[in-house]
Structures are given as C-alpha cells and as structure tokens.
Amino acid sequence: MNDTNRSEELCEDLSPLTFHNNINSLNKDDIVIIDVRTPDEYKSGHIRGAINIDYYNKNFLSVITQMDPLLIYFIYCRRGNRSMKTLEMMRAKGYLHLHQMLGGIDSWVRCELPLTKE
C-alpha cells in the first residue's frame, strides 16, 4: 500500500465474511489483527495471526497507541462492544485505517469461519 492511500481515513464495520476476506487478501506486513478479548477468551479460539491485547488490562490504551499508526488494523472481540470502543480510542489518537468486525467472534463462529488455538 502506498503512502497516498494511507493518508485518508478509513474506519469500517465489517461483516465476518468481509473481515475474513480482507485479512486474507491484504499483505500481511500491512495489517495487524487485534483480539481485544481476555486471555482466556483468546485461548478458547481466535483468528489465525491475531494478537491478544486485553481490553480490561490497565495498560490497554498505552499498548494500542504505541502501535504503528500507518498500518491497517482489524479489531474484534466477543460481540463487538469492546472492538468498537477500541476503534474509537485508536481513531481519537490519529489511527486512520481501522476495521472492526460486526458481531465479534460470536458472528465469526456462526458463519463457520476458521479459528485456531495456536
């Protein structure tokens, strides 16, 4: 992705299928998949390649705002509440390319999309 495209804000709510298709079609070096559930929720099954940053951790805001603002972020939680709040926090800090999954991992599972426990 070139720097011109990165300068325009894009914050979207994506269906699980669109979320899945987007993370699989983009260059892995340009994206970060963030699971904002608790570590136990994460261990029960998560999207391959996702990093776990616990929304309830006292250092949560500090951790997410130290990430590269030029990357493309795909954020999800269990049902969509924590991911939406995370998207808004990151947007307020100047992050431009943010996507959150509608309905969270619960919707992902209902769509029978793959999870990993690795």
Which carries the bigger pLDDT value, residue 11 or residue 104? 104
Cα 37 to chain center, whole Å? Answer: 11
Quick one: 29 exposed, middle or buried, by C-beta within 10 A (0-12, 13-18, 19+)? exposed
Condensed to tens digits (0 to 9), the pLDDT of residues 48-68 reads 999 999 999 999 999 999 999
Is the domain covering 3-110 a CATH 3.40.250.10 domain? Answer: yes
d(CA 79, CA 101): 9
Residue percentage of the chain with pLDDT more than 70: 92
Is the sign of the CA dihedral 49, 51, 109, 83 positive or negative? negative
Condensed to tens digits (0 to 9), the pLDDT of residues 1-23 reads 444 344 566 788 999 999 999 99
Q: What is the pLDDT of residue 2?
A: 42
Q: Where are the domains of the chain?
A: 3-110
Q: Give the global pTM.
A: 0.91
